[in-house]
Chains A and B, each alone.
Chain A
Amino acid sequence: AQSVTQPDIHITVSEGASLELRCNYSYGATPYLFWYVQSPGQGLQLLLKYFSGDTLVQGIKGFEAEFKRSQSSFNLRKPSVHWSDAAEYFCQGTNAGKSTFGDGTTLTVKP
């Protein structure tokens, strides 16, 4: 079955530290991959997306993600986290008209 897995339910980092959120996918073919952020009480907002081509994708708010076919991963990174990055992060995969969201990772930022 097609799936997207986010292994980390909750991650805590200190402000200014680097961040990596993991996303693994399981699809018959390479899916389209997306990362969304959900701030408290808000809807989801797209951070970045990967379709094909360059495997390092730049997004908004200083985020980037790297597609690694060999590891079936699409991990989200940020070199220096800001307190305002505290939110829920969702990875999504889409293929052949089917879409799956990961279960989300809650990011807490310590002062």
Chain B
Amino acid sequence: DTAVSQTPKYLVTQMGNDKSIKCEQNLGHDTMYWYKQDSKKFLKIMFSYNNKELIINETVPNRFSPKSPDKAHLNLHINSLELGDSAVYFCASSQGHLNTGELFFGEGSRLTVL
């Protein structure tokens, strides 16, 4: 069983479209995250949720809207996609929020905006 799974793995779309990436974890963790990895492989945290409550919201355009229906799921919706949104988006989870718990990552969703 995959611990952190995200779908789709690949997403190719046109500028201006709206798309969603879904994430689910079966580890029983109470915290989930979205990270963005750009073409230079730099990792930046975008959002974190602890028990469905938004904890971290980094400087991310409001076109990005996370939604956590329950603590096992954290989805990312992106409106009006731009070329600069092309990246790999990683979902992660941990027990506790950014403390001693390691992060468990999904395999990533590669978004390409044309």
* CB of A90 within 8 Å of the partner chain: yes
Q: Which of A46, A99, A103 contacts B98 (CB 8 A)?
A: A99
Assess the B98–A44 pair: CB atoms within 8 A.
no
- Which stretch of B60-68, B77-85, B105-113 is in the interface? B105-113
A58-81: which residues lie under 8 A (CB-CB) from chain B?
none
* CB of B49 within 8 Å of the partner chain: no
Q: Which of A32, A36, A103 contacts B99 (CB 8 A)?
A: A32
Assess the A44–B103 pair: CB atoms within 8 A.
yes
Chain A minimum-CB-distance residue to B41: A104
Assess the A43–B97 pair: CB atoms within 8 A.
no
The number of residue pairs between A and B whose CB atoms lie closer than 8 Å in the complex comes to: 52
**Least Cβ distance of B112 to chain A in Å?**
14
| Size of the chain A interface, CB-CB below 8 angstroms | 23
What are 13 inter-chain pairs, A to B, with CB distance below 8 A?
A34-B103, A36-B105, A42-B107, A43-B105, A44-B103, A46-B103, A90-B43, A92-B103, A98-B98, A99-B45, A101-B44, A103-B40, A106-B41
Q: Give residues in B with beta carbon < 8 Å to A.
A: 4, 40-45, 55, 90, 92, 97-100, 102-108
- Known pairs A101-B43, A104-B41; list 16 more (Cβ under 8 Å): A32-B99, A34-B103, A43-B90, A43-B92, A43-B105, A44-B90, A44-B92, A45-B105, A49-B102, A51-B100, A88-B41, A92-B103, A94-B99, A99-B45, A101-B44, A106-B41
Q: Identify the 7 closest CB pairs spanning chains A and B, nearest first.
A: A43-B105, A101-B43, A46-B102, A44-B105, A99-B98, A43-B107, A104-B41
